[in-house]
Amino acid sequence: MIKIRDIKKSFDGFYALNGVDINVNKGSVYGLVGPNGAGKTTLIKLMTGIFIPDTGEITIDKQPVFENPEIKSRIAYIPDDLYFFPQATILDMKKYYKSIYPQFDEDRFEKLKEAFPLDPKKRIMRFSRGMQKQAAFWLSICLKPDIMILDEPVDGLDPVMRRKVWGILLQDVAEREMTVFVSSHNLRELEDVCDHVGIMHEGKVLIERSLTEIQNNILKLQIAFEGDLPEEINRLDILNRQSSGRVWILIVRGERKNILEYVNRLNPLLVDALPLSLEEIFIYELGGMDYAVKNIIL
């Protein structure tokens, strides 16, 4: 559905995006993760037609996004840094969006009043950050978009509201095959909702797969041998290794089954394979890209 091909974007000679390729399938929830400054927000602003790319193209259903109102009317975008007109209430903003998005669903707006306990006649700028986020979700969901692009979407929302919001969004994903493209640092949450993940670093996408594939492709191996680690173990794609006495913890990239078969041939005293969380995958993958967690002693 969404195809991003060789997108480059520079600011004063610095490439914030340097050849990004991404594919997002219809009806999927795609999580984009990456360290600060990786280029996630820049990519999102290109996807929503705010920025003009230097090179490359972004298409939705084979049509370019930039300067294409037809495509853009199918997108709802909730940025990290929200903007509402200074004096506007939710009702004012509803009226405004309704005049621009013909598909704005008034019934949904009424129904969602229950989900979002906000006074629609109160000035939005007087709301807290979390309440403003709720207002943004309320209005965006009423646009009935085909694609929802979210940048740090649940920042500021309380845990109950987070669940509620994700519940509504996933309902749309299930019922209307809405596609969600979400950038977040909350990997625990992404792990719960995403079916595909892309990891960005320094303007490039390092990995882009389904969450299951990613999690199957990397595992934590708890292993112990009679003496030191045998030399043959280094043939594995080890991302990280730590030892505690004779017990070694290895983060290994590869097929689970193949790794275990290979290790068992080396006659370990103990071997145990554990799944990795998305956060751990993120940390170990980026560790190989010189973005490792370092212990700083002050």
Partner 1 sequence: MRSKTSYFNKGVFLNNIKRFWLITFAFSFLLFLFMMDYTNSVSARINSIYDNDPVNIAASIFPQSTDIMMLLPGFFCLIAALAVFSYMHFPRNTAMIHSLPLKRETLYITNYLSGLLLVTFPIVLNGAIMILAKVYLGIPLTYAFQWLGVNLVLTFLLYTFAVFAGMFTGHMAAQVFYYLIFNFLAVFLENVINNVLYDLLFGFYRTSSKFDVWSPLYHIPGLFNGFYNNEGSIGTVLVYFIAGVFFLVTGLLLYKRRHMEVATDVVSFNIVKPIFKYSATFCSSALLGTIIVEILNLNQNLTGYIAAYLTGGFIGYFVCEMLLRKTFRVFKAYKGFVVYGLILIILFYSIGFDFFGYGSYAPDVSEIEIMYIYSVHEIRRDLALNPEEYDPAEHRYLFSHKYHYDDYPMQLDEEFVRELRKLPGVTDSEESIAKAHKIHQYIIQNEKLFKANDSLYGNSWDDQEFKTRSLYFRYKLKNGDIIERYYRRLVTYKDNTELDNLLREYISLPEIRLKYEPILSKSADDILSVALNYYPVEGGYVRKEIPDVEGILEAYKKDLENMDPLFSMDGSYEASLPFNISFEFKESDDLYFEFNHYQPHITDKHQNVIEYLVENEIIDIERMDSEYGIHLKPVPAQ
Give the C-alpha distances (Å, rounded to integers) separating 214 from 47, 173, 207, 253, 294. 24, 22, 9, 9, 24
Task: Return the closest-CA partner of residue 232 out of 250, 206, 217.
Answer: 250
> Which residues contact partner 1 (rule: CB under 8 A)?
11, 45, 48-52, 67, 69-75, 77, 79, 81-83, 85-87, 95-96, 98-103
**Nearer of residues 96 and 291 to partner 1, judged by Cβ:** 96
When computed from its CA atoms, the radius of gyration of the chain, rounded to whole angstroms, is 22
Least distance (Å) between residue 72 CB and partner 1: 4
Least distance (Å) between residue 140 CB and partner 1: 11
**Nearer of residues 81 and 226 to partner 1, judged by Cβ:** 81
Could you tell me the two tokens for 163? 């669940």
Least distance (Å) between residue 69 CB and partner 1: 4
**Nearer of residues 44 and 165 to partner 1, judged by Cβ:** 44
- Phi-psi category of residue 128: left, alpha or beta, with phi > 0 → left and psi -120 to 50 → alpha: beta
Least distance (Å) between residue 285 CB and partner 1: 29
**Nearer of residues 77 and 166 to partner 1, judged by Cβ:** 77
Least distance (Å) between residue 47 CB and partner 1: 10
**Nearer of residues 169 and 281 to partner 1, judged by Cβ:** 169
Calpha distance 222→249 (Å, rounded): 5
* Residue 204 DSSP class: E
Alpha helices in 143-277 (DSSP H): 159-176, 187-193, 211-216, 256-264
